[in-house]
Amino acid sequence: MLGAMVAAMATVATTTTTTTDRLTSYNPATGEPVGSVPIFSAAEVDAAVARSRVAAQAWGALSFQARNEELTGFRKALANHVDDLVDLLHRENGKPVLEGYSEVLNALSHLSHAIGRAEEALASRKVSSGVLANFRSTISYHPLGVIGVIGPWNYPLFTPMGSISYALAAGNTVVWKPSELTPLIAVKVAEIAANTFALPDVLQVVTGAGATGAALAKAAVDKIAFTGSAATGKRVMMAAAERLTPVLLELGGKDPMIVADDADVEKAAEAAVFGALTNAGQACVSIERIYVADAIHDKFVDELVKQVRELKVGGDDGDIGAMTSAQQVAIVKDHLEDAIAKGAKVRTGGPDAISGSYIQPTVLTDVDHRMKVMSDETFGPVIPVKRVASLDEAVKLANDTTYGLGSSVFGGKAIRGIAAKLRAGMTAVNSVMAFSGIPNLPFGGIGDSGFGRIHGDEGLREFTRVKSTAEQTFSIPMNMMSFRQPKDASKRLRGMIKQLYGEGVVAKATDTWRKLRAR
Ligand code: NAD
């Protein structure tokens, strides 16, 4: 079947880009160019989407088994290219090599999960028909068609693959616009896809900056999965509104961490250091502010500062890599200066510890919510710590944000109750960020952190259209879908309402109903 489809598609899948403008990707650690890619015009984006639409018909028509075989081949090819992928992640994004391997592992873990879960999560299911007991009711899930994925630079593989893997496994094709800061990794992935899939154009990449992304948001795609800042997310949503294209928005965060007085201080500090500083703090679910119970505040800060000072900044084997852009360094500097001017104390690091694209991790205390470092997304290696008098105060402050992405709580068993009170899409208990590495857990936020979910069964269904089917299986005397009713129809309905929903007769009615449905 696949062979015939490929032959049929060969005639339509030959358009090539004619772009002459190019975009250069630079190594943030050295400033040297890593490579260059074409800048796709709006017309070229539309052409890619048109090719994707043709591919979607064949890809969406495959059985789960056939598609899963294709996706498994893709997963294996990506794993076989792990060193190339990590090299690009390291050179384009600035992250240490170890973090590059961790990113590839996480991306492939999600791809593997999406492959394994798609058939079951998207299986049709029969549901109760309620009062229309003579109907068989079925919910089924169908591919949307073409998904436009617009990605950020901070996790340039893991983050877009969180949409791409689930979209492909659900039977869609994808046109991916990577960040202009990290396009080469996407081009590499698309090259691997082209060499692996039997069908052409299952996963295409259109490179360029904001204008190329804007063109994709306006194009004739069936859904846009956007990951990036809240400001750009709003622009994407406005552009998509022209065609009423649905959007999935994975935006920024200002994730809080709460440390109760019965927490293991050393472990909480260790998790805080990782959660705030991995990827140089450039993670959407970075720990961006910490609220610590008064009784252990000083001990926690001492431990935090000790562990932060043990980290190595820079080098291929460093713990903290280069910041990916000069713009991001400027934001971190601004947040630090603003906090210090408003009374924050620097325990280690500080604005003077910024050197080129490297920032020494910084711990601040005596912070409050007037400071940008406690209200705006910093996206850098900064850990502001605030003392709280009670867990109620900690929850109130943690929820005092327009964002609502991830969060973290540390403490004894009672801390689970605190986790439940946090207004966030995800919470890690006695850990940080773990929810993003567990493929069964849906990932996404609320408020300025966006809406919709990637990962998990919800992440697969996000890329489907839901179809409801009501099939009449036998006739009953009163057909509710007809004007031909017996003369006493109103009387019968009145009696039915009283019997089904009135007081005292519920058990009898339920029994009658059950008998009807069993037929
Ligand atoms: P960004 O909003 O600047 O850019 C994101 C993407 O949008 C890029 O590919 C960019 O070229 C494109 N773009 C720019 N203008 C556009 C337009 N008008 N129309 C369409 N596309 C356009 O974000 P960024 O700086 O690349 O990424 C950092 C942000 O992403 C942070 O806020 C971070 O928290 C967030 N993020 C969120 C998640 C999540 O899953 N929630 C994951 C990673 C990053």
Residue 442 in contact with ligand 1 by CB distance below 6 A = no
Residue of 92, 103, 284, 462 marked catalytic: 284
> What sections of 14-63 are H helices per DSSP?
42-61
User: Which pLDDT does position 14 carry in this prediction?
Assistant: 32
Alpha-carbon gap, residue 395 to 401, rounded angstroms = 11
Lowest mean pLDDT among 112-116, 159-163, 340-344, 352-356: 352-356
Cα 249 to ligand 1 centroid, rounded to whole Å: 10
Determine the pLDDT at residue 511.
Answer: 63
Q: What is the pLDDT of residue 418?
A: 97
Span 364-376, average pLDDT: 98
Mean pLDDT of 119-142: 96
Q: Quick check: 462 pLDDT over 70?
A: yes
Q: How confident is the model at residue 515 (pLDDT cuts 50, 70, 90)?
A: low
User: Parallel, antiparallel, or unpaired for β 223-227 and 146-150?
Assistant: parallel
Tell me, using a 6 A CB cutoff, whether residue 106 lines ligand 1.
no
Tell me the average pLDDT across 373-399.
98
Helices (H), 399-465: 415-421, 456-461
Cβ-contact 41, 215 below 8 angstroms = yes
Q: What is the pLDDT of residue 287?
A: 98
Of the candidates 232, 219, 137, 136, the residue with the CA atom closest to the CA atom of residue 175: 219
At 226-280, the pLDDT tens digits run 999 999 999 999 999 999 999 999 999 999 999 999 999 999 999 999 999 999 9
Among the listed residues 155, 27, 151, the one whose alpha carbon sits nearest the alpha carbon of residue 103: 155
Write the DSSP assignment of 150-166 as a string of letters. Answer: E--SSSTTHHHHHHHHH
| pLDDT given at position 15 | 32
- Determine whether the shortest distance from the Cβ of 307 to ligand 1 is under 6 A: no
End-to-end CA distance of the chain: 40
CA-proximal residue: ligand 1, atom 18 (nearest) = 214
The burial of 484, by beta-carbon neighbours within 10 Å (0-12 exposed, 13-18 middle, 19 or more buried), is given as exposed
Q: Is the pLDDT of residue 4 over 50?
A: no
Span 16-23, average pLDDT? 64
By CB atoms closer than 10 A (0-12, 13-18, 19+), residue 226 is buried
Q: What is the β-pairing status of strands 135-143 and 125-127? A: antiparallel
pLDDT for res 446? 98
pLDDT for res 372: 98
Ligand 1 atom, smallest distance to 162 CA: 40
Tell whether the model's pLDDT for residue 11 goes beyond 70.
Answer: no
Query: pLDDT tens-digit profile of 193-240?
Result: 999 999 999 999 999 999 999 999 999 999 999 999 999 999 999 999
Burial class (CB within 10 angstroms; exposed 0-12, middle 13-18, buried 19+) of 74: buried
pTM score, whole prediction: 0.92
Region 487-500 average pLDDT: 93
Per the annotation, the verdict on 250 as an active-site residue is yes
pLDDT exceeds 70 at position 483: yes
CA atoms within 13 A on the CB side of 484: 3
Q: Is residue 217 in contact with ligand 1, taking CB distance under 6 Å?
A: yes
pLDDT of amino acid 89: 97
Q: With 80 as the cut, is the pLDDT of residue 12 above it?
A: no
- Protein residue whose Cα sits closest to atom 9 of ligand 1: 179
Rounded Cα distance between 7 and 137, Å, is 39
**pLDDT at residue 517, rounded to an integer:** 57
